[in-house]
C-alpha cells in the first residue's frame, strides 16, 4: 500500500495486473490516491482503462 499511497504501482502489483490479464505492459500505470491506505484509482495509460476492483488486503 505504500507505493499506491505514494502514487505509484510497484513491480509486484504491476506484474499481478499482467498475470491477471488486465494489461500486457507493466509500466504504464498511474495512481490517483482517493483515500490513503484504502482507496486508489489505478489507470492503465496504455489501454485507457480503469481498474475499479478492491485490491488484495483492502479492508473497509
Q: Could you report the per-residue pLDDT of 17-56, keeping only the tens digit for each?
A: 888 888 887 778 889 999 999 999 988 877 555 555 666 6
pLDDT at residue 60 greater than cutoff 70? no
Please state whether the predicted TM-score (pTM) of the whole model is above 0.85. no
Ranges of each domain in the chain: 2-51
> What is the per-residue pLDDT for 40?
92
What integer pLDDT is reported at residue 6 of this predicted model? 95
Q: Which of 37, 35, 42 is nearest to 9 (CA)?
A: 42
pLDDT of residue 17: 87
Amino acid at each position: 500500500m505504500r507505493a499506491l499511497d505514494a502514487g505509484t504501482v510497484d513491480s509486484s502489483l504491476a506484474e499481478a495486473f499482467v498475470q491477471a490479464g488486465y494489461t500486457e505492459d507493466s509500466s504504464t500505470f498511474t495512481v490517483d490516491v482517493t483515500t490513503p491506505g484504502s482507496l486508489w484509482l489505478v489507470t492503465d495509460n496504455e489501454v485507457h482503462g480503469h481498474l475499479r476492483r478492491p485490491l488484495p488486503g483492502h479492508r473497509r
